[in-house]
């Protein structure tokens, strides 16, 4: 059976020793008094919930899946899911980082980030039910009317109601300008919506009394394309003036998707047949509000793969220490046994260290993004808010795509460590591979993220935001450039920092002549940028570890961190050289292929 131990020590290292988050919070009035002990205590309890309550339901939930009653359109979640959700709500976990005005606890977003990493490790399918609510909450908190906030946010904050995002339709995925769902204005100011949505995660379930669907639809006079999309609140049950639940709305689950993974989550086909809704924000400005939700979801999906990377690594490591097969190439290591544990073999260590390096690098990036998001929402200095928003915009597609690509890679490598047993359900590894695969697809495929990064976030402002991140890299290089002990981390980072400027300029010039050049280079470009970001954080983590060791700290945690940093820079970071070469190969070898693809 699989195991999971919350990585609290590493979370504490990133938060308090590398990023010093409580120092950052001192400039934010509502978090100025938040200390490390409070954060650590909350996350320790959160780790218990993840490992003791929802982790035991992961394999059984995958086996059982969700069941739809075709007559009532009600969905039953796997055994134990509903009870675990009740425990989650009673523990106050839903309200952790929500606005106190609506019943939230008002803790920093970094606490919620770490809690959700642990819950994703424990049970991604279960975690998606409350997880999607955070995106819906964020959209309504930003663009909802006072009445909408009063009606919905307290219930979503407490976890009494969950939320969804209803975007995709059978004929359109990412291209939301093609959607056909209609919204007809009514005399009382509401709207009647009609249409069909598919792939709606947590779209129907038995865990809460109501589900708040945020639905994209078109008004009768809407302009064509994406500029004619509006956003609506369409609850499963209409809500009365006093906030209580009213009659059933004309929105229901018409079917459940039969999926490769995340079987414990209800991925619903939603039928909307004259359902009553209220508009969020301005008419034909739905994408403005939806992007609040989508960006939150993209960070959340990166966090899903971070969680899977961690739990897959933990299980592969435990197995590699226990499983004996053959002898070490340099002679027997376990002389009292007929064979050595497979962890003595170099390639097994390569697979384990790949997962470990991607998990720990991803954790640093995810926590950094949560601090940026905090500044965007709450920092009193307008310039800091703007700079943080720019940086977060740059890092969001990297977080979504780089972490999910790495997560699938890591899960597959960890499955490989198990050999034949990795292919067998009872060990849990094949589920991690299946679950990890969706994260590369939904909330905008990773190619879409790559196009967003290169086309919009980098070339769209002539590299201005990329240069801001480059300044962070440059400052670290200046600080540690003469430190011989940091050379193995700083030198390759400095070289890539210089190369990426020329690399970006080349692609930009080629793209001006032929836009397909950007499309051809984008996926490779994102991975190069991802390694630049990971390299920066790994160098910072190595910096802290070296300082602690030099100060006489004998904690093996720091030695382990250095060894992992060395592995990352020696074995994973050099991928950038190949990626830049393949990106420079251009679009012709892809687009001049009509005969090959006939």
Distance of alpha carbon 545 from alpha carbon 483, whole angstroms = 14
Distance of alpha carbon 253 from alpha carbon 267, whole angstroms = 10
To the query of whether residue 443 is one of the catalytic residues in this protein, the response is yes
- The secondary structure element, H or E, covering residue 71 is none
Distance of alpha carbon 110 from alpha carbon 15, whole angstroms = 8
Secondary structure class of 215 (helix, strand, coil)? strand
Distance of alpha carbon 118 from alpha carbon 176, whole angstroms = 32
| Token pair belonging to 165 | 């995002």
Q: Which listed residue (443, 480, 517, 548) is catalytic? A: 443
In terms of C-beta distances under 8 Å and separation of at least 24 residues, what long-range contacts does 501-507 make, across chains too?
A: 501/463, 501/470, 503/528, 503/580, 503/583, 503/584, 504/458, 504/459, 504/463, 504/466, 505/463, 506/584, 507/454, 507/459, 507/583
Q: 349 near 416, Cβ under 8 Å?
A: no
DSSP result, 381-397: -HHHHHHHHHHHHHHHH
Secondary structure class of 224 (helix, strand, coil)? coil
What helix, strand, coil percent values describe the chain, rounded to 5? 65, 10, 25
The bridge status of strand 210-217 relative to strand 161-166 is parallel
The bridge status of strand 230-235 relative to strand 267-280 is antiparallel
DSSP symbol at 456 = I
Q: 160 near 89, Cβ under 8 Å?
A: yes
- The secondary structure element, H or E, covering residue 255 is strand 251-256
Q: 194 near 274, Cβ under 8 Å?
A: yes
Which residue is associated with the tokens 């004996």? 324
Distance of alpha carbon 227 from alpha carbon 72, whole angstroms = 36
DSSP symbol at 262 = -
Distances (CA, A) of 310 to 360, 490, 573: 8, 26, 20
User: Catalytic positions, please?
Assistant: 443
């Amino acid at each position: 059976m699989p195991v999971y131990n919350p990585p609290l020590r590493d979370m504490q290292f990133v938060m308090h020793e590398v990023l010093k988050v409580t120092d950052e919070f001192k400039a934010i009035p509502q978090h100025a008094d938040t200390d490390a002990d409070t954060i650590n205590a909350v996350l320790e309890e959160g780790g218990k919930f993840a490992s003791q309550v929802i982790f035991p339901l992961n394999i059984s939930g995958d086996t059982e899946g969700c069941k739809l009653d075709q007559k009532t359109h009600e969905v039953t979640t796997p055994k134990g899911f509903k009870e675990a959700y009740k425990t989650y709500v009673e523990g106050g976990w839903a309200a952790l980082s929500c606005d106190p005005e609506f019943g939230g606890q008002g803790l920093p977003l970094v606490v919620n980030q770490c809690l959700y990493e642990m819950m994703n490790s424990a049970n991604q399918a279960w975690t998606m039910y409350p997880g999607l609510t955070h995106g819906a909450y964020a959209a309504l908190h930003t663009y909802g009317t006072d009445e909408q906030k009063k009606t919905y946010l307290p219930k979503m904050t407490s976890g009494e109601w969950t939320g969804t995002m209803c975007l995709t339709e059978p004929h359109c995925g990412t291209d939301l300008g093609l959607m056909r769902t209609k919204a007809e204005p009514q005399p009382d100011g509401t709207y009647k919506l009609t249409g069909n949505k598919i792939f709606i995660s947590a779209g129907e379930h038995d865990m809460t009394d109501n589900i708040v669907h945020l639905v994209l639809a078109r008004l009768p006079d809407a302009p064509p394309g994406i500029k004619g999309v509006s956003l609506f609140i369409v609850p499963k049950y209409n809500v009365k003036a006093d906030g209580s639940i009213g009659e059933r709305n004309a929105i229901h689950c018409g079917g459940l998707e039969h999926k490769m993974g995340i079987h414990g989550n209800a991925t619903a086909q939603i039928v909307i047949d004259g359902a009553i809704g209220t508009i969020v924000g301005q008419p034909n400005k739905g994408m403005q509000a939806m992007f609040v939700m989508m960006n939150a979801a993209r960070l959340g999906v990166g966090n899903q793969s971070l969680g899977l990377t961690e739990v897959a690594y933990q299980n592969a490591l435990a197995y590699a220490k226990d499983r004996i097969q053959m002898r070490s190439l340099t002679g027997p290591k376990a002389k009292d046994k007929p064979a050595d544990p497979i962890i003595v073999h170099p390639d097994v260590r390569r697979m384990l260290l790949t997962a470990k390096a991607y998990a720990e690098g991803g954790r640093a990036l995810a926590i950094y993004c949560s601090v940026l998001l905090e500044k965007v929402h709450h920092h009193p200095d307008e310039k800091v808010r703007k700079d943080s928003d720019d940086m977060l915009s740059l890092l969001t597609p990297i977080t979504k795509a780089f972490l999910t690509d790495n997560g699938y890679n890591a899960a597959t490598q960890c499955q490989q460590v198990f050999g034949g047993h990795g292919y067998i359900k009872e060990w849990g590894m094949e589920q991690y591979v299946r679950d990890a695969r969706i994260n590369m697809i939904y909330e905008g495929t990773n190619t879409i993220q790559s196009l967003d990064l290169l086309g919009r976030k980098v070339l769209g402002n002539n590299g201005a935001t990329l240069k801001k991140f480059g300044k962070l890299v440059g400052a670290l290089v200046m600080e540690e450039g003469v430190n011989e002990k940091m050379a193995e981390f700083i030198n390759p980072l400095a070289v890539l920092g210089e190369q990426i400027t020329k690399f970006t300029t080349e692609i930009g010039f080629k793209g001006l002549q032929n836009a397909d050049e950007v499309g051809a280079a984008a996926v490779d470009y994102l991975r190069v940028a991802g390694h630049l970001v990971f390299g920066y954080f790994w160098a910072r983590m190595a910096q802290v570890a070296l300082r602690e060791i030099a100060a006489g700290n004998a904690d093996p945690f720091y030695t382990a961190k250095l060894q992992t940093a060395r592995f990352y820079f020696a074995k994973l970071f050099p991928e950038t050289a190949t990626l830049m070469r393949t990106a420079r190969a251009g679009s012709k070898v892809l687009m001049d292929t009509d005969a090959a693809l006939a």
